[in-house]
Amino acid sequence: MRNATIVAPQPEAVEAGAEVLERGGNAIDAALACAFVQGVVDPQMAGIGGFGSMHVYMPKKGVHEILEFYARAPLKAAPDMWLDKIKHQSRDGFGYVLEGNISDIGYLAVCTPGSLKGYETALRDYGTFDWADLIKPAIRLARNGFMIRNHMHWYWAKDQSNDGFANTLDKLRFSETGRKVYFHDDGTLKNVGDLLVNKDMGETLERIARSGGSDIFYHGELAEQIAGDFKANGGLIDRQDLARYELSKVEPVWGDYRDHRIATSPPPGSGFPMLELLHIMEQFDVGSLQHGSADHVRILFEAMKRMTIDKDAHMGDPAYVDVPYEKLLSKEHAKAHARAIKAGEIASVSRLDSSQRDTTHISVIDKDGNAVAMTHTLGSPSGAITDGLGFMYNGTMSRFNPLPGKPGSIAPGKRRPSSAAPTIVFKGDEPSIVIGAPGGSYIAPAVAQCLMNMIDFDMSVLEAVSAPRIVGVSNTIDICNRIRHSVEDELRAQGYQVARSPQTYAFAAVHAIKIDGGISKGAADPQRDGMAISVG
């Protein structure tokens, strides 16, 4: 490799990671510095109250694995705990709406966080930098402040009530810390360009940096504060949940598309649905289609619905349920789906009585060819912040199926299905693409489309992440505002329901790196505020 590249949705975080690369750190060091800063400068997307997974490839060390630090349901949770509270499922299938939004906002919404243990494990097993050194940029930004960016403010102010979930604005107001940090003294929401300072978060990160690892959070004084706060506010998480939290390492699941080998996250991650979609699309001559044409959109939509039906039927924590992803990834299975599409059969996605979600991503490759694709998140923010700690907890309980006996049903200590698909693509034995995205149920369709853009349509990485996208995770074709109206009219004439997004760049936010001839180039999805930095 002749250079190193890092790309993510937040400029401040990318800069912190790039500085680590410039100082001789490897891809893992850079990703972790970036991740800590993301938790400060995009605190409803990720942070130490969240969870995620890191796809790590280190050729000189013979390492290629997925570090899973997913959130776990509280040990006091039960499969039928909310059976009498069910209202409906969101149209995109990402979560379940209950009476009073009790699984979406507040202390009952929180699963046991895994991010900090994930960061510590990654540094210990793959990194080279000092723990406290990596956290310094995040501490500085929390204490000194940073400017509120456009996408952050858009997300805060966005009306999410169509799906029945609580609005982020209500979550920002939920805690005393939230009211102090995110609002002016007169109660109005801070605006784009205003300085956001969170001294409590800076102090918490300083305590973690001084402690040398994650024990302070899972066994020490922070654990005591967290458990006491949850007990006082009717939450389920206690000292036992924190002390017994475990992460895991697994091998990636593999697929192929044209002459590329693709490694991505196994269940409960959503790499395998992304691969299934690619395997179905491989049965069509995608490159001969006009990008964004009615034929292109129709085939994509029917393939996405079939992927979604399989995912809804089978996705869960493999420690609790059997997920037959090998069968779902077989070429025979893909060919059967493709035959049905070619025959004009229209698939139907069912939802329980019947958006964009809250996550972030990092893609990195360094000069030694070490690559990281890391997706971490709050799932959605809960609004809960322990007084004095500054960081918001995840709101992940709403993503479990409240009906017992389903692959994604609630169970004590269970990991909820994740939409993340951190992916590394190989051409021969060398990485050619490092890719991933935030965006809930839209991640797998968006990542697959960007890969097809590069492989089938020969787009540059910037063209690929910027090209118009569609998603099909319900019985409605969701199209971005750059899909032509004539295409929409043609699809409607064929009997399809079509929903046009007002967003120019819509449906997840892909951040990717493409490597060609030893040169890496990154691209940040224009939907968000990010950037790519290459270090020579």
Does residue 355 carry a pLDDT above 80?
no
Of 49, 47, 50, nearest in space to 10 by CA: 47
**For residues 238 and 246, is the Cβ–Cβ distance under 8 A?**
no
Amino acid 191: pLDDT:
97
Tell me, what's the pLDDT at 164? 82
Token pair in block for residue 484: 């032509």
Average confidence (pLDDT) over 469-483: 96
- pLDDT at residue 213, as a whole number: 97
Residues 421 and 32: their CA atoms lie apart, in Å, by 18
Q: What is the pLDDT of residues 135-159, one digit of tens each?
A: 999 999 999 999 999 999 999 998 8
- 92-104 pLDDT, tens digit each: 666 788 999 999 9
**pLDDT at position 426:** 98
Q: What is the mean pLDDT of residues 351-367?
A: 75
pLDDT of residue 94: 67
pLDDT at 352 over 60: no
Contact 394, 111 (CB under 8 A): yes
Helix (H) or strand (E) holding 173: helix 168-173
Instruction: Enumerate the domain spans of the chain.
Output: 149-196, 250-355+420-525
C-alpha 211: how far from chain center: 28
Q: Is the pLDDT of residue 48 over 80?
A: yes
Q: Residues marked as binding for L-glutamate? A: 418-419, 440
| Length, in residues, of the chain | 536
3-state SS string over 248-295?
Answer: EEECCEEEEECCEEEEECCCCCCHHHHHHHHHHHCCCCHHHCCCCCHH
Residue 92's pLDDT is 61
On the question of pLDDT at 26 being above 50, the answer is: yes
* Cα–Cα distance, 240 to 227 (Å, whole number): 9
User: What is the per-residue pLDDT for 163?
Assistant: 73
Q: Residue 353: its pLDDT value, please? A: 40
Q: Is 359 a catalytic residue?
A: yes
| pLDDT score of 346 | 96
Over 80: is that where the pLDDT of 450 sits?
yes
Give the pLDDT mean for 5-21.
Answer: 98
Q: How confident is the model at residue 96, as a pLDDT?
A: 87
309 backbone dihedrals φ, ψ, rounded to 5°: -60, -45
The letter for the amino acid at 505 is Y
pLDDT score of 1: 92
Average pLDDT of 63-75?
98
pLDDT for residue 277:
98
Say whether pLDDT at 91 is over 70: no
Band of pLDDT at residue 417, cut at 50, 70 and 90: confident
Confidence of residue 375 (pLDDT cuts 50, 70, 90): very high
| pLDDT of 351 higher than 90 | no
On average, the pLDDT of the chain sits at 95
Q: Residue range 295-301: average pLDDT?
A: 98
User: Residue 89 pLDDT more than 90?
Assistant: no
CB 70 within 8 A of CB 52: yes
- For the annotated binding site, the residues are 418-419, 440
Model-level pTM? 0.96
- What class has domain 250-355+420-525? mainly alpha
The pLDDT of 23-52, averaged and rounded, is 98
Residues 6+ apart with CB under 8 A from 143: 197, 199, 202
Asked if the model's pLDDT at residue 354 lies above 50, the reply is no
Catalytic residue among 112, 168, 264, 359: 359
Q: What are phi and psi of 400, to 5 degrees?
A: -75, 150
The predicted structure's pLDDT at residue 356: 44
Per-residue pLDDT band for 357 (boundaries 50, 70, 90) equals: low
Q: Is 136 helix (H, G, I), strand (E, B) or coil?
A: helix
Which of 128-132, 353-357, 397-401, 440-444 reaches the highest mean pLDDT? Answer: 128-132
Residue 93 is predicted with a pLDDT of: 62
